[in-house]
Each structure stands twice: as structure tokens, then as C-alpha cells.
Structure 1
């Protein structure tokens, strides 16, 4: 009766080991429920998530090669993959705590006893009752198992599993960041190259304009002020070349770091493409799914769940621990008689260890674990709010650039038409050379602004898809199969925002 009562009391005590309950996911997703409206952008929810293969739809084979090279060579991705393998190994170690441990032991001992030892059996040896030389043979199997009554080991498994899944999401985040950086550097490199081409043509026009104005000034048809203005415009055009070339080289060097390849290998590859990407239409997707797609939100949520499991571990450590050990084998003074029934030995050792006095150390560990959970919860909530704000900001920038593009393209078309008309008027003698050069210069300026707007559109498109949580799925998984890029394999469950099976926090 007393044993039954004691067991019942232990079960009641084990029920006291609880962990913090994560916040209601629906309450946190209210931040995402109206993010279109908060952005001030008139964009309805299409219900279509961002295309995971959006960078494939750009249909730029050179960019596809660069992304493949990044997946193979980028150090950030390698670091994230190694961390994932580390956490996967830690999870396996934690799971091993739930299972019995089994070990085998065999030994041989030879002893020659002293005849002069006062405490020794010298008289027995001299009488021939026992041998001076003794042999001892042993072969046994040892087993031990901790009965996880208060869930400490199960909570460790939950914590390790959540951290492994967080590492997986972090790897996805690293792939997402690398994808964005590769595309952005590629766009900037070609954008600066195109602007350098426009600037070269503009410089040639300024040189021709200066020659004409100087000749007219020699004939008294232009003032020296006009000559100085033309020379200043030429110097201004030439001054823009070093800055654009430096920016182009910076984009090149960013690619060399991301891909871990020498710049000499990238030059022919980059020059084989125009770099003018055909952007697909952006799909914003279902508002509530924003939080399910972003790796940073997944990492924050999983680390919060890991911290909750750590609280369970710290609380369980306040209670007694139970273990059961058993050993069975054979012991004999002769190897010939080792394996027989008379040499068999068995032992069972129940163990109970309880923390009676630790100076408050265990309670301090519990309080620290609870504080870490509060911090992880706040970080999760902060990440959710920041993710929604990030999406709002990038969506507003994307549509702002698209609206500006309409006016920039119209201005470019009009200036091109004006330059063509000026050429016809010049050929008919109705326009002088300076007026023709000025019309061409204005057309080139409009073209430069069109290129700059095009670059901004492409960069905001990339940033928008990253903010919406799209891109890493295709980059990290589809690209591997499409291009046969192999990474170290880690067998683990998929990332989910609600832990299942082993991840479910136990309530013993």
C-alpha cells in the first residue's frame, strides 16, 4: 500500500514539471493579416504565393550558372550546413539518453600474494590451502537505463530537435541571402557597364560640341563663356567614368567572394550576357502565409520552442532521478571453467539520486532558463513584426519604382523621338550642329536614367521576394536536383512551425 501511495505521489509530482506555452500563432499572425493595407499600396491578395522558381523565370543562363557556383562554393552556405550537421548530431546524442546503454567487458587478473604481509594469507599459503598465484577471469554484459519519470531527457530531445530544425531554417536563410547577393551584384555589374557605355557616347558628344563651339568662338560667333561651359560639361562627363568603373569592379569582387572564384574566370562569363533581366510579375501571396515562408521567423519560433524545452529540463532537474543497472556474466579462476552454470553471476542495482542541497544552484538554473525563454519569446514577436514591416517597405518600394518606370520610359521615348527629329531637321539644314548635339545629349541622359531605374526595379524585385520569404526553397532544393549539385546529407524531419511527434513537449 505504501509503495502504491509513493508511486502515486511521484506521478503527481511529475505533473508539476511543465513548460511555458508558446503564444497563440493566430494572434501573432494578425500583424501579417493587413500588411498590404499598412504598406499604403493598392495591391489585393491574389492568393498566389511568390514563385519559388522566380529566378528561373528570368531566363538568364549566365545568372543560373552563377547561382549554381554559389551553392557549390559559398562559405556562408557551407558554414550553415556544418552547423546543421552539428545540431543533427546533438539531437542524436539527446535521443540516445532515452534508450538503455549496453556494454560488454572482459578481463583477466593475475596476482602473486606476498608471504611477508602481516595482513596477507601467508599461513594459508604455507599450509598449501590456497595458491600464492591467483588468476581471475571475467566476462560480463552491463546494462543501465535511466527511467525518465520527470521528462528531463525527453525535454532534452525536444530542445535538440528544435535547435536542429532552427539550424535547417538558418541554412535556408543563408541560401536566401546568398541568392539575393548574387542576383544584386550581377544586376549592378551589368547596370554599371551599360551606364559606362552611355557615358562614353555622351563624352564623345561633349567633345564634338566643344570642338564646334571653339571654332565658332574663333570666328566670333560664340563667347568665351560658351567655350568654358562646354569644357566644363566635358570634364563633368569624364569625371563620371572612374566612379562607375569602380562600382562595376566592386560588384565583380562581391561576386568573386560569393562564388569563391578568381575574377579572371568571371570576366568571360559576365561579358557573354547583357544582364538585362526580364522580370516576371510579382506575386505577393496569401497574407497569413508570410510568417510560414520566412526563414528568420522559423528560426525565431524554433529557438523559442527550444528555450521552452530547456525550462522543462531545468525543472525536471529539481526532482529525483531513477536508474536501473544490471550486470550479468561469468567469473572464474580458470578459463576452462569460465563458461558454465557455476561461474554465472548476476546483479541488479536500482538507483535513486535526489538533490538535497545544492545551494540554490538548480533553482537558479531554472530561473535562468525561464528568463532565456522570455527573451526568445520577445525575439520571436520582434521578428514577426519586423518581417511584416520588411514586407511592407519592400512592397512599397517595388510599386514606387514601377510607377516611376512609366514616367521614365515615357521621358526616354520622347527624348529619343526628339533626337531623331533633330537629326532629320539637321539633314535638311533647319537645325545647326549644336542643337543636334544637345538633342542627342538629352536623349543619352534620358537613357542613363532609364538604365538606373531599370537597376532599381531589379534590385527592389529581388528584395521584395526575399522579404516575402520566396526564393530559398528553389535555391536550396530545386537547384540541387536540376544541376546535380550534391551537398552533405542530413536525415532530419522537415521544418514545421508546430513541433510534432518527438518535438511535442511532454507532460509526464
Structure 2
């Protein structure tokens, strides 16, 4: 009696769910936009704007081809080449295509499933199994053998009364969306890495030029001390000090050359070629434009623009849909279908109406006892959804922190460049006076070398400060540039 009642209740619930188009599990709601209107607070120690500092304008954020702000056609060409030929992007695009096909496969399961079959058999009948004996008079001298031909087909349709398949399609769609945003992030990352390598090459070439200029000064010092010694006004110690300084300074250049080669090799890899195929990369900081206006997306726009945040949101959507998939498996499922078949002893009789057979069916599958597996799977899916929600919140916070750090860096870099320019000017005047003093015999070579050290140190610091300024601006563009919309159109 209880069993009959259970089956009646199950059948009633299934019919009601089927007619009502029930979809179990939580419906996904996109996270609310952040209430923050700025990335930094007044307590961040923001300084007055320095002349020449790039101006930050908050709004929609940078344009798609943000790297054109650096004013280099060769840089633009390298980024375009990387977008077209980078192997990692090719893999990401292929993974995106696979995710979209998985979505198509999930949608296909919602439609009636139609199959055809054909079969040819050679059979032998065991007469003894039917209580018969071989009878030559009847033509049964042994177990008879014959060929059997059959064709047929069938159709089945899952009513999906509790929306398990619908949630599965929703999950697959969200997973494909997450992969799209991963691909967008990969495009943005590759573009950023190409720009970074170009800026690194320009910075290293500037450092090498500074180092070579230092060697030229060292040679001048050697020439001065040698002439003073020959004139009887200097000593061998002064000459040796100058030569020692030259040798020490010359030892720094091979390391800079190595770093430059590595930057070129990385640039070649990013653009999809071998290092040997990379042509000249004559970038220098003077030929690049320092953007004077940097558009930055406001926080409420950034969460709908930056690909890692959009990916985290899509992952949350997929995890939420997975709860519905796991919930639907706790309820019955109904399948409708039918088959038709034709069988004959010879191919010529295969389409005869007398050999046709068919059946129609309705099937009900209901979980009764699975040792708690289904309920545990549902709880696990809910836990994963909570984890995805926490990951989304952390991704947003990390993005805001990164933008805040870079905004602070842009301000700090401008002040550093200004300070280093002043340091170079002061050190240059000091070196000029020291050298004149040495030439007229009022000071020794050590004072001149010390002034030279300070001047070259100031020049090197200025190169590093300018390089850091370019690099941090590029990083700020990447942090707020959003997705690569071209990936969505592939």
C-alpha cells in the first residue's frame, strides 16, 4: 500500500512539474555593482599634481587599442602581430571554440533524439531447444541456418520535468562565457606583455647609452691624468685610479646587454616567431610618447569591463546552475519515445509491410535510495557556489587594489622623475666645476671621480624613474582596459 502511494505521489509530482515547466535550484542574479566611486581614499597621502604628470580621467576607461597612446607605429605593429600569431592565444581561442561546442552539445540534448539502425545476422536454430528432432522427411536434416536482415529506428525525448537539462544548458553557457573572458584576459595580457617588453628594451638601451657615456667620461679622465703625469703635474696613482674606474664601469655593460637580449627574445616569443627571426628593435624612451591623459574606468564600470572579474562572475553563474543540476537529480525523470523495425529473411522482403513492428513507450525513473550520494552532491554544489561567490568578491577587491596601487604609482613616478631631473642638473654642475678645478690643479682626481659617480648615478636613476613611469602607465592601461572584444567575434 505504501509503495503504491509512493509511486502515485511521484507520478503526480512528475506530471505537475512537466506541465508547469518546473526548474529547480536557485536562479542566478548578477552581483550588485560596487558602491565605491573612487579607488583611493583621502588618507592615501595624495600629493599636489606635479607639472607634466599624466592626468587621470575617470569614466568608461581606455579604448580597445590603448597602446596607441604611446605614439609608436612599430609598437602597434608588434602588438597586432602578437594578437594574430601568439601560440598561447591560439590555444585560448581553440579552448573557447571547444567550450562553445560543449554548449551546443548540451542544447542538443534538449531536442528529441533520433537514431537509426541496421543489422545483418547469420543464425542457426537449435531444434532441440524447442523439443524437435532432425527429420529428413521434413527437410530437417540438422539445425537449420539462415540469414536475417533488419532495419529500424527510434526516437526518444526527455521531458526534463524538473529542469535538470535546462540547468545543464545554463551551466554550459556560463562556462563558455567564463572561457570567453579568459580568452579576453589572455589577449589583454599578451598586448600588455608586448608593450612591457618594448618599454623594457627602450629602458635598457637608455641604460646602455648612459653606461657608454660613463665610459667616455672615464676615458677622458684617463687622458687628463696621463697628460698631467707627462707634464709632471700628476702622479701614476691618479692614472691608475682613473683606469681602475674605467675597468669597473665597463664590467656593468655585459649584464645590460644580456638583459636586452632576453627582452628581445621574449618579444619574439610573444609575437610567435623565434628570436633569430626578430628584426631590429631600435626603441628608445625619447621616441615614445608619454600619455598626458589616461582614461580610467570608474569602479562601477570596471566590474563590467575587466575580464578577470567577468570570468569570476561567469564562474559564479555556472556554479549556481550546477546546484540546479544536482537538485534535479533528486527528482523523477520521464522519457517518451518509440521505435519501429523491419525484419526479413531476404533483403528483397525488407520493406514489406508484413515484416514491420513498432512500440511506443513512456518511462519513469525515480531515485529511491543512493546512500545519500545525491543529497551530498547537492550540498557540495551549494558549497562550490558559495566558494565562487567569495572568489568573485576577492577578485573585485584585488582589481580595485591593483588600480589604486597604480594610480598612486603614477603620482609617485611623476615626482620621482622631477626630483631626478633636478638631481642630474645639480650633479652636472658639480662635475663641471670639479673637472675644471682638477684641470687647473686645485683638486685631485679622486674628487673629480667622485663628482662623476654622482652625476652618472643621477643619470641612471633618472633613466630608471622614466622607465618605471612608462611601465606603470602601461600597467594601469592593462588594469582598466577591460576585455578584448575581438575575441568575442572569433
Is TM (by shorter chain) over 0.5?
yes
Per-residue CA deviations over 1:202-237 (Å, capped at 9, x if unaligned) read 112122213423543566645777556544543442
Per-residue CA deviations over 1:38-96 (Å, capped at 9, x if unaligned) read 75547875424212222123232222232233223323212212221221121122111
Asked if residue 35 in structure 1 is aligned to residue 46 in structure 2, the reply is no
- Aligned partner of residue 65 in structure 1, secondary structure: helix
Counting only pairs closer than 5 Å after superposition, residues 216-255 of structure 1 correspond to structure 2 as 216=228, 221=233, 230-255=242-267
- Match for residue 288 of structure 2? 277
Q: 2: CA distance between counterparts of 1:10 and 1:261?
A: 58
How many equivalent pairs are there?
468
User: Normalized against structure 2, the TM-score is what?
Assistant: 0.82
Asked if residue 265 in structure 1 is aligned to residue 277 in structure 2, the reply is yes
Q: CA deviation at 1:289?
A: 0.7
- Aligned partner of residue 288 in structure 2, secondary structure: coil
- Aligned partner of residue 35 in structure 1, secondary structure: coil
Match of 1:61 among 69, 73, 81: 73
Per-residue CA deviations over 1:1-20 (Å, capped at 9, x if unaligned) read x8995556546998582227
Distance 1:5 1:36, change over 3 A: same
The alignment's C-alpha RMSD in Å is 3.8
Per-residue CA deviations over 1:173-203 (Å, capped at 9, x if unaligned) read 1112211211111111121112212211211
Q: 2: CA distance between counterparts of 1:419 and 1:433?
A: 13
Contact 2:312 2:388 in 1 (8 A): yes
Match of 2:209 among 197, 200, 205: 197
Contact 1:45 1:287 in 2 (8 A): no
Distance 1:336 1:247, change over 3 A: closer
- Match for residue 378 of structure 1? 390
Contact 1:41 1:395 in 2 (8 A): no
Q: 2: CA distance between counterparts of 1:359 and 1:463?
A: 53
Q: 2: CA distance between counterparts of 1:439 and 1:135?
A: 106
- Aligned partner of residue 352 in structure 1, secondary structure: strand
- Aligned partner of residue 293 in structure 1, secondary structure: coil
Q: 2: CA distance between counterparts of 1:147 and 1:241?
A: 74
Asked if residue 466 in structure 1 is aligned to residue 466 in structure 2, the reply is no
- Aligned partner of residue 336 in structure 2, secondary structure: strand
Q: CA deviation at 1:360?
A: 1.3
Per-residue CA deviations over 1:285-330 (Å, capped at 9, x if unaligned) read 3331111121111111111111111111111111111111211243
Asked if residue 159 in structure 1 is aligned to residue 163 in structure 2, the reply is no
Asked if residue 25 in structure 1 is aligned to residue 32 in structure 2, the reply is yes
- Match for residue 185 of structure 1? 197
Q: 2: CA distance between counterparts of 1:167 and 1:89?
A: 12
- Match for residue 304 of structure 2? 292
Q: 2: CA distance between counterparts of 1:209 and 1:429?
A: 14
- Aligned partner of residue 319 in structure 1, secondary structure: coil
Q: 1: CA distance between counterparts of 2:466 and 2:69?
A: 17
- Aligned partner of residue 350 in structure 1, secondary structure: strand
- Match for residue 324 of structure 1? 336
Which sits farther off after the overlay, 175-184 or 33-42?
33-42
- Match for residue 182 of structure 2? 170
- Match for residue 153 of structure 2? 141
Q: CA deviation at 1:379?
A: 0.9
Q: CA deviation at 1:350?
A: 0.7
Which sits farther off after the overlay, 434-443 or 292-301?
434-443
Per-residue CA deviations over 1:444-496 (Å, capped at 9, x if unaligned) read 554433322221111101111111134x527x569xxxxxxxxxx85xxxxxx
Match of 2:409 among 397, 410, 414: 397
Q: CA deviation at 1:107?
A: 2.9
Q: CA deviation at 1:36?
A: 3.6
User: Normalized against structure 1, the TM-score is what?
Assistant: 0.80
Counting only pairs closer than 5 Å after superposition, residues 348-363 of structure 1 correspond to structure 2 as 348-363=360-375
Q: 2: CA distance between counterparts of 1:329 and 1:372?
A: 47
Q: 2: CA distance between counterparts of 1:431 and 1:283?
A: 55
Q: CA deviation at 1:98?
A: 0.5
- Aligned partner of residue 33 in structure 1, secondary structure: coil
Per-residue CA deviations over 1:314-349 (Å, capped at 9, x if unaligned) read 111111111112112434445444435444422111
Which sits farther off after the overlay, 3-12 or 321-330?
3-12
- Match for residue 407 of structure 1? 419
Q: CA deviation at 1:157?
A: 0.8
- Aligned partner of residue 294 in structure 2, secondary structure: coil
Contact 2:183 2:487 in 1 (8 A): no
- Aligned partner of residue 330 in structure 1, secondary structure: strand
